[in-house]
Amino acid sequence: MTIEHKKDFVRETIKKDLKEGKFNYVNTRFPPEPNGYLHIGHAKAICLNFEIAKEFNGKCNLRFDDTNPTKEEQKYIDAIKEDIKWLGFDWEDREYYASNYFDKLYEYAELLIKKGKAYVCDLSPEQIKQYRGTLTEPGVPSPYRDRTIEENLKLFREMKQGLYSDGSKVLRAKIDMSSPNLNLRDPVMYRILKKSHPRTGNKWCIYPTYDWAHGQSDSIEGITHSICTLEFEDHRPLYDWFIEQLGIHHPRQIEFARLNLTYTVMSKRILLELVKRKIVKDWDDPRMPTISGMRRRGYTPQAIRNFASAIGVSKADNTVEFEYLEHFVREDLNKKAPRVMAVLNPIKVIIDNYPEGIVEELEAVNNPEDSSAGKRKVPFSKVIYIENDDFMEKPMPKFYRLTVGSEVRLRYAYFIKCESVVKDKNGNIVEIHCTYDPQTKGGDAPDRRKVKSTLHWVSAKHAIEAEVRLFDKLFLTENPLKTGEGKNFLDNLNPDSLKIIYNCKLEPSLANAKPFDIFQFERVGYFCVDKDSTSEKLVFNRTVTLKDDWQKIKSKLIN
């Protein structure tokens, strides 16, 4: 799987570092927090880190930042690993955890205390925030800032031994309370948290903060290029300070703009809230922007990787249209998805002059974009189903599908002409009666007469039933987090983000379809078999419609 990448400042920086001898190898890493599922924004970072490593004949580590046992779970670790592998990347034997380094991080912390660069502080979290100051006012030193090295070592070791309650003490770096960068105003390095850790059990009751563990973990692993999103740019001076004080291997940190997508929320906290409130079924709900949700919906790894490559890497924050992502999904599925016929809103058509009891096996193309996909047989008989929307008794102007007295082509079959309809007592059409022209088998007339429409259909006798779930955007507004006074993101939810259609009629070739199989329902869209499917009843998720809105949106953006 080869993807062409545009030149970008990250790759150019790495080239420069190698040329100047700053590093003689490349080792990147992807460092997720196991407190939720990965989303499309993480996919961009995954692609960037693993593909850069490959381009420069280097390596990419997978390191779980498991420094907060109150929010981390094994199910998240398992899901993250599955997502990365599904995208097509392999960290080989380099699966690491920040918790692997807890002993070393503690040793480093004592070293900073001994150098007079860290101290134990008894201020509460609220007081620390208050003392920190603002962007326009300097911070106020903690009254505990000038404790002796001996006292700080004693207190820190007692914190480790569990002699103090949660929140009663922290270890802070001693840097500069008047720094214009708030991250340098004596940040917290350790907090007391008497909580069992999934990997280290009850060994620790103090845990490192992200800011303390992050840079040192990179250093321990020999990472050359720590590629982060822009919110870490202001943290870089802190990471540099820690590493310089410790005198250890110094990775280069490079920041890039995170992915923002219209109609989409990228906050794991908010995504978790959607799950907890049961607004969605779970993290892998096909409406979610999670990688597992997109996989369940029918997105392909190649489509996501192509999208990530196309949007590129920049320093400027911007928002990408959701339709651009869908464009790459369609583009990939068009090449790969087998074509089948499925009628979502069926109405019965009886071909009056077709022989009773006869079944023909008609030849259908599996994928016109891929000649190697071959052909299949579809059964045709006297009674078929077509889409309800493909018939109008009293047609509107420019309605070219089936009407009383008009003729249309049935895909791979014959021309049919509507002669009459049958209605129920409420006036609803329940049957359409047609005649067919036996000379038009295969869809062409010997006299070369033309019809204006070709319809898909399913033989009623052979149809299998399925449930089809039609998904739309989860939010109604391009920026779901932008709300009016007294409102929140929940007010922007789309009440029609999921519509379920029961008793859809599918051609019999789909009887053996398995979860995650993807098809194009001709004239309807791309669909994926859901994991809820059983041998008794298939369930399909609409991946994306056939209509590609990207070019229209692109034209508006340019103009």
Catalytically active residues are 33, 258, 268
DSSP 372: G
From CA 430, how far away is CA 336, in angstroms rounded? 37
Measure Cα distances from 353 to 380, 416, 422, 434, 437 in Å. Answer: 14, 10, 17, 8, 9
Burial class of 207 by CB neighbour count within 10 A (0 to 12, 13 to 18, 19+) = buried
What is the crossing angle of helices 301-311 and 322-336, to 10°? Answer: 140
DSSP code, position 39: B
Residues 6+ apart with CB under 8 A from 120: 144, 147, 151, 152, 155, 156, 159, 169, 170, 171, 172
Nearest to 23 by CA among 32, 15, 31, 33: 15
Residue 113's SS3 state is: helix
Phi-psi region of 423 (alpha: psi -120 to 50; beta: other; left: phi over 0): beta
Residue from 307, 288, 269 nearest 473 by CA: 288
What is the number of alpha carbons within 13 Å of residue 246 lying toward its C-beta?
25
Give how far the C-alpha of residue 186 lies from the chain's centroid of Cα atoms, to the nearest Å.
37
Structure tokens at 396: 């509107």
Spatial distance between the Cα atoms of 325 and 331, rounded to a whole number of angstroms: 10
For residue 398, CA distances in Å to 403, 419, 453, 457 come to 12, 20, 11, 22
Q: d(Cα 175, Cα 242) in Å, to the nearest integer?
A: 10
DSSP string over 175-225: S-TT-SSGGGSS-EEEEE----BTTTBTS-SEEE-HHHHHHHHHHHHT-SE
| Residue 3 CB partners (closer than 8 Å, separation 6+) | 51, 305, 306, 309
Q: For residue 546, give every residue at least 6 positions away whose Cβ sits within 8 Å of its Cβ, in sequence order, or none.
A: 330, 520, 523, 524, 525, 526
Whole-Å CA distances, 459 to 421, 422, 513: 19, 19, 18
Angle at 108 between CA 250 and CA 203, to 5 degrees: 125
Residue with tokens 């006292």: 151
- Three-state DSSP at 101 gives helix
